[in-house]
Amino acid sequence: MFGKIEFEWDLEKRRARVEVAGVVRAHSEPIRNPVTDREEQIVLVLPKGWMFHEAENASGFAKGLGAIKFDLRGRHSSLAHIAWSQNGMVDTYDEYKRKFGRP
């Protein structure tokens, strides 16, 4: 199958959107405190991680529009800077921090 993929993300705001026309639509948004409705920031740090080193956690939504139907609301989503090669992650944690480190 060949199709147009729309993708946008903003790691700082913990928001992302991806859509494959007629197949799937998904987005992420900040996790909200159920009492105050305030946006929360939850950062997962995995210095020896094999998928990513740091990820912003968010609330994820996805809907299957094609032959495979599903509707997932308020599930887990992670947004992270990642780079892989055929040998796994490109950057060590120290290299990652130099490129994308938090203040």
Element (H, E) at 16: strand 15-20
| Residues whose CB is less than 8 angstroms from the CB of residue 48 and which lie 6 or more positions away in sequence, other chains included | 93
For residue 102, the model assigns a pLDDT of: 64
Q: What is the pTM of this model?
A: 0.81
Residues 8/24, Cβ–Cβ less than 8 Å: no
pLDDT tens column, 27-58 = 999 999 999 999 999 999 999 988 999 999 99
Residues 24/64, Cβ–Cβ less than 8 Å: yes
Residue 103 has pLDDT above 60, yes or no: no
Q: Is 76 exposed, middle or buried (0-12, 13-18, 19+ CB in 10 A)?
A: exposed
Q: How far apart are CA 23 and CA 61, in angstroms?
A: 14
